[in-house]
């Protein structure tokens, strides 16, 4: 599977990849070239992914992954509040979830690169050219600074509301 995906990464043009990635293209490009050269997973480090994984996913427009992660983060809290007798189960889930930022920090660039392939292939299937192609890739990749800042605020507001409504707060 990785060899097939790595081969697809190697077929991406630098221009298409740069339009998809946006800021910090040079860091992602060196990782992409390593993948294309036969190294399917390249270690990296990303402080934003480490400290604020959901915001980093939103910043990189990986909305589906961010929503899934937020669901996984909130689920043990909700279960623990609603059904206190299963606290050992929720503690176990939180222990596993706490490893996700480390994995994302080390392999996040790989994730973004591998997820660029279907978007660029879709641009090929749609036969997009020139500015239209560049704009399509920027809209489906790139970054979203506004939502990356707003997402943690909304997350903590919803969390505070949840604790308030369930009576699990310190007055």
What pLDDT score does 155 carry?
Answer: 78
What pLDDT score does 6 carry?
Answer: 65
Burial tier of 48 (Cβ tally within 10 Å: 0-12, 13-18, 19+) = middle
pTM listed for this prediction? 0.79
| Helix, strand, coil percentages, rounded to 5, for the chain | 80, 0, 20
* Residues 48 and 56 sit within 8 Å (Cβ to Cβ): yes
pLDDT 10s digit of each residue in the chain, 171 long?
455 666 788 788 999 999 999 999 999 999 999 988 888 889 998 888 888 888 899 999 999 998 888 888 777 777 777 777 776 777 777 777 778 888 888 999 999 999 999 999 999 999 999 999 999 999 999 899 898 888 888 878 877 887 787 666 554
């Amino acid at each position: 599977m990785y060899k097939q995906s790595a081969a697809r990464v190697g077929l991406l043009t630098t221009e298409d990849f740069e339009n998809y990635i946006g800021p910090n293209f040079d860091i992602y490009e060196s990782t992409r070239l390593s993948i294309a050269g036969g190294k399917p997973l390249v270690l990296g480090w990303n402080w934003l992914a480490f400290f604020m994984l959901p915001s980093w996913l939103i910043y990189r427009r990986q909305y589906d992954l961010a929503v899934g992660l937020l669901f996984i983060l909130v689920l043990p809290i909700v279960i623990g509040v609603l059904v206190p007798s299963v606290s050992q189960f929720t503690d176990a889930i939180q222990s596993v979830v706490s490893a996700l930022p480390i994995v994302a920090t080390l392999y996040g660039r790989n994730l973004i690169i591998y997820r660029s392939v279907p978007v660029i292939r879709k641009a090929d299937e749609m036969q997009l050219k020139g500015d239209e192609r560049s704009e399509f890739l920027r809209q489906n990749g790139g970054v979203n600074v506004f939502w990356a800042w707003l997402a943690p605020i909304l997350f903590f507001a919803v969390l505070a509301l949840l604790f308030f409504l369930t009576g699990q707060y310190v007055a």
